[in-house]
Structure 1
């Protein structure tokens, strides 16, 4: 079945632009937020909601909350001059949208942001569907059932936070993650995770999993952006 993106908009120009950017993906347009039963008719990988031509009134907010509850894929909003706006903050913090795009972004940035969200979602689906509690990641063996990690057959003395940090990186393998994304994904509260705390725990994790922490093979620093966990994973027998 063709994977598709549902775009909720009445803006034909926006639809044409996104259709051009997503290439082989199928773009389905809807003039308004579809009722709950309509969602089952689509094989959506992502939903993009045009907030420039939609008014966020009380009943629509309730619909968006329902949409977020029933749709586990990437849910994005798009509009003009939305970066840092009060509406963008509401969508991200209260309605749990995955991102707010701005039409003033270049085509390259829009394409990159949409592609990254799709890749991340499908990658998490693959991790979630692994029918085992053990995962081989290079020389590392992660036992999710017993919260243990071994390297070359030797058990690593890893604390709960380092274990959660490793699992988060594995779930987002080969994706460049900012410190903000790491704080939200591992600490679940940005205020509790300072840059120094994040860097400190990543340093501890490197010392545990790397053969040479000063020349990491797995957990690399991407200067100016954040960190990337580079690996190919295999399901253990």
Structure 2
């Protein structure tokens, strides 16, 4: 059964989120501080499918918690913020958040995001054509079932969105995509689209997969248009 960890100091909101999550047959675990949330996340790393993380916490802020989570885990993180400031959203996405909700949000919207993120992460329907289960290129293997990427036999530690981005481009190798097309395909929404956001994700991904990030081999820039995965890889 999927575990969802909620890290928020608003106890009343936590109670409501816990109730909604459990009604959908997920196990909900609550933490009211960043330190407590990190402890629970560490103790349940093997079977945690999603973390709901508030930015404003009494000890560590949500960005600090996210940074520590990303050092060891690729679990999807849905961030909550009381601000509508786009800078906070873009900053969190660049640090590895997978999605954002601005308070006050409806519980229906919350659960729609929860379902979507867990579905992508756990791959509920892993049975598919063997050609798409694993993608193999020069020095790179992408396991779409277990969401694992290896470069020359060494595992690359990617966030959920970084994996989605790489898998999308690699599955369409040789095809050129604009930043807007990439955002719509990988994020499936337009609420926080920004050219610099995509560029930041590409840059971080290249540092993790490219032998020489300054001279990319896998993800190539098509000047004035966007990006493509090297068709010769």
TM-score by length of 1: 0.52
Q: 1:139-169 CA distances to partner (integer Å, 9 max, x unpaired)? A: xx9762579xxxxxxxxxxxxx9971438xx
Q: Offset of 1:196 from its aligned partner? A: 7.1
SS at match of 1:188: helix
User: Partner of 2:192 in structure 1?
Assistant: none
Task: Name which of 131, 144, 153 aligns with 2:136.
Answer: 144
Structure with the greater alpha carbon radius of gyration: 1
Residue 25 (structure 2) pairs with residue 24 (structure 1): yes
User: Partner of 2:49 in structure 1?
Assistant: 45
Aligned length in residues = 165
Q: 1:185-205 CA distances to partner (integer Å, 9 max, x unpaired)? A: 9x926xx6799768xx8xxxx
In the TM superposition, what are the counterparts of 1:86-235 in structure 2 within 5 Å?
86-93=87-94, 95-123=95-123, 135-136=130-131, 144=136, 164-166=170-172, 178-179=184-185, 181=187, 184=198, 188=202
Q: Offset of 1:120 from its aligned partner? A: 0.6
Whether the aligned pair in 1 keeps the contact of 2:8 and 2:54 (CA below 8 Å) is: yes
Whether the aligned pair in 1 keeps the contact of 2:7 and 2:30 (CA below 8 Å) is: yes
Whether the aligned pair in 1 keeps the contact of 2:6 and 2:31 (CA below 8 Å) is: yes
TM-score by length of 2: 0.53
Q: Which runs of 5+ in 1 are unaligned?
A: 148-160, 168-176, 202-237
2: CA distance, partners of 1:194 / 1:38: 45
Task: Name which of 52, 69, 72 aligns with 1:70.
Answer: 72
SS at match of 1:104: coil
Q: Which runs of 5+ in 2 are unaligned?
A: 141-166, 174-182, 189-194, 204-220, 229-233
User: Partner of 1:217 in structure 2?
Assistant: none
| Cα distance change, pair 99–35 in 1 and its aligned pair in 2 (3 A) | closer
| Cα distance change, pair 194–29 in 1 and its aligned pair in 2 (3 A) | farther
Q: 1:122-148 CA distances to partner (integer Å, 9 max, x unpaired)? A: 129959xx9xxx8246xxx9762579x
Q: Offset of 1:21 from its aligned partner? A: 2.8
